[in-house]
Each structure stands twice: as structure tokens, then as C-alpha cells.
């Protein structure tokens, strides 16, 4: 029989604790649930510039980012508060003539934070995104099928440079969810970001050279939550802490009848400019 001294038992226990801690560190913690860690930055197959190696390596680590890390950066960042029930008409043909008050399309607050490696953007809505296909509302017999939040960044505060169709933006961050869609993680939920405007305005999918689809990675928030949080390497975005940027944001949804069943605009189409300094602890009442 193997005899184990008290000392070696302690050593063994310490080793076990260390291994468990190291393993836990390799997971992304999302709302108390463990999700297996894959590097959250994966370029889409359509566009390989820059390469996946660049994306994983250019921050100096494997990009295992927890929601807790995001919340620390966001809590010392900039908070932009939006009204609720502030629907607008875009003037497009596909507009719903009387917008549906879909609470999960209604932006309530956007938080922007940075640490030395990442930009964090969290959008909070007035209600939670559908958790499953059965949760998508039908209003007056019109089935809602899609929702999207976008944050466009005019990184040089010049509306005449960048993607002119997006208002002179150099970066586009996008979160969306579609009914009856089995792809994405969780199913139906997609997020990603675009960089390096090409100068081509149409077709729309050619507007940016850098196109990163993060949908294979577990979304922070999203389905079943009233928020979505995105994490982006500052180096890929060519942004630095302390830089002043202009934000243009919107949330919109589609139904079986309307291209815009509801539309909440935070300066994407109209309204006062939202100019922030990355890393500044400040509250802005957008109104």
C-alpha cells in the first residue's frame, strides 16, 4: 500500500487546485456559464485580410476574454443613455407606417470601454432578445423575424472619409439575430466587425476590406438577455486609448411585412453627434 505523507498530500492538493485554476482560466465565463474557449477572433471565409494569425497574435495572447473583463473596462468607460420609445421613420419604402414598439429593438444604453488590448461595446435594450424561435413576437398578425444593433465608428471624426454610405465610418460593429436560423452560437445569433473601408459603396457587401465574423464564438448576452457585448482588438481597429471618435448607432428589426418593422436611431441617420474619448469615464444623455 502506498503511504502518503501529510506534506505530499498538501503538495498534491496545491497541484490539483493549480490545474483547476489554470483550466478555468482557459474558459470564457459568460453569465455564470462556462463556454469552451476558442479564440473569439475569427475572420470570415470570404476575406482573409488580415490573417487569422494576425488576429490571434497581434494582441500578444490567445484572446480569451471574459465577460468580467469586459464589465471592468465598461464600468470605467463612457455611458451613453438613450430614451425609450423613440421610434423614427427612415423614409424608406419598406418602413412600417406605424412602428411596432418592440422593446428588444429599443436602445436604452450603450457602454463603451477600453483596456490596453481591447475595445468593449455593450448595448442594453428595453427588453430581452428572443431566447428561442417561439419567443419572436407577432404583432397584428405580422411576424417579427430579425433584429440588429449596429455601432459605426467614424475614427477620424471626418464624415467625408471612410464608408460614405455609413456616414464616413472606418469601422462597423454588428450584432443580429434571426428567427429560424440554426447557425451562430447561440443559434440564430451573429456578430462581427468590419474595418478598412474599400471606397466601394455598392454592392453593400464590398464596402469594407476587413470582415470578421465572430458568430462561431459564444455571444456575450444576446438571445434571452437584454444586452449584447462585443470585444474587439484595438490593434485590428487601428484605435488607441485616449483617441476621440464619433459613434453612429442604430437598432432595427424586420417583419414579414416590413423591411423596417421598428427603427431606433442614435445619430446613424440624424441627431446630435456622439463624440467620445476612448477610456474616458463619462455619462452622456443622448436624449
Residues that bind Ca ion in the complex, under the rule CB under 5 A? 82, 86, 106-107, 154, 156, 158, 161-162, 168, 264
Smaller CB separation from Ca ion, 156 or 235: 156
Grid coordinates representing 171? Answer: 469601422
3-state secondary structure 27-81: CEEECCEEECCCCCCCECCCCCCCCHHHHHHCCCCCCCCCHHHHHHHHHCCEEEE
Smaller CB separation from Ca ion, 196 or 264: 264
CB of 281 to Ca ion, least distance (A): 23
CB of 134 to Ca ion, least distance (A): 26
Give CA–CA dist 269/221, Å, rounded: 26
Smaller CB separation from Ca ion, 115 or 156: 156
Smaller CB separation from Ca ion, 154 or 211: 154
Give CA–CA dist 193/215, Å, rounded: 11
Query: Which residue is nearest to Ca ion, using beta carbons?
Result: 162
Smaller CB separation from Ca ion, 213 or 265: 265
Q: Please name every residue paired with 177 in a beta bridge, in sequence order, or none if there are none.
A: 147, 189
CB of 275 to Ca ion, least distance (A): 12
Helix (H, G, I), strand (E, B) or coil at 183: coil
Helix (H, G, I), strand (E, B) or coil at 191: strand
H/E segment holding residue 118? strand 118-125
Grid coordinates representing 252? Answer: 432595427
CB of 83 to Ca ion, least distance (A): 5
H/E segment holding residue 10? helix 6-25
CB of 264 to Ca ion, least distance (A): 4
Smaller CB separation from Ca ion, 107 or 276: 107
CB of 107 to Ca ion, least distance (A): 4
Amino acid at each position: 500500500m502506498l503511504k502518503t505523507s501529510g506534506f505530499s498530500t498538501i503538495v498534491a492538493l496545491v497541484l490539483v487546485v493549480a490545474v483547476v485554476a489554470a483550466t478555468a482560466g482557459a474558459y470564457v465565463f459568460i453569465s455564470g456559464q462556462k463556454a469552451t474557449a476558442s479564440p473569439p477572433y475569427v475572420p470570415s471565409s470570404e476575406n482573409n485580410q488580415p490573417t487569422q494569425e494576425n488576429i490571434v497574435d497581434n494582441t500578444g495572447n490567445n484572446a480569451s476574454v471574459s465577460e468580467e473583463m469586459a464589465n471592468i473596462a465598461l464600468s470605467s468607460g463612457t455611458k451613453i443613455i438613450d430614451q425609450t420609445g423613440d421610434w423614427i421613420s427612415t423614409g424608406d419604402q419598406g418602413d412600417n407606417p406605424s412602428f411596432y414598439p418592440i422593446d428588444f429593438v429599443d436602445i436604452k444604453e450603450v457602454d463603451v470601454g477600453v483596456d490596453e488590448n481591447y475595445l468593449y461595446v455593450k448595448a442594453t435594450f428595453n427588453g430581452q432578445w428572443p431566447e428561442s424561435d417561439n419567443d419572436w413576437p407577432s404583432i397584428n398578425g405580422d411576424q417579427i423575424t430579425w433584429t440588429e444593433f449596429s455601432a459605426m465608428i467614424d475614427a477620424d471624426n471626418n464624415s467625408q472619409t471612410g464608408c460614405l454610405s455609413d456616414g464616413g465610418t472606418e469601422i462597423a460593429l454588428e450584432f443580429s439575430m434571426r428567427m429560424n436560423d440554426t447557425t451562430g452560437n447561440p443559434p440564430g445569433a451573429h456578430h462581427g466587425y468590419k474595418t478598412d473601408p474599400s471606397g466601394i459603396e455598392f454592392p453593400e457587401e464590398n464596402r469594407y476590406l476587413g470582415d470578421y465574423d465572430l458568430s462561431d464564438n459564444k455571444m456575450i448576452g444576446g438571445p434571452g438577455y437584454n444586452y449584447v457585448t462585443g470585444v474587439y482588438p484595438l490593434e485590428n481597429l487601428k484605435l488607441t486609448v485616449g483617441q476621440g471618435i464619433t459613434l453612429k448607432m442604430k437598432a432595427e428589426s424586420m417583419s414579414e411585412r416590413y423591411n423596417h418593422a421598428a427603427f431606433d436611431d442614435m445619430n446613424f441617420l440624424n441627431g446630435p453627434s456622439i463624440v467620445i474619448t476612448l477610456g474616458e469615464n463619462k455619462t452622456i444623455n443622448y436624449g
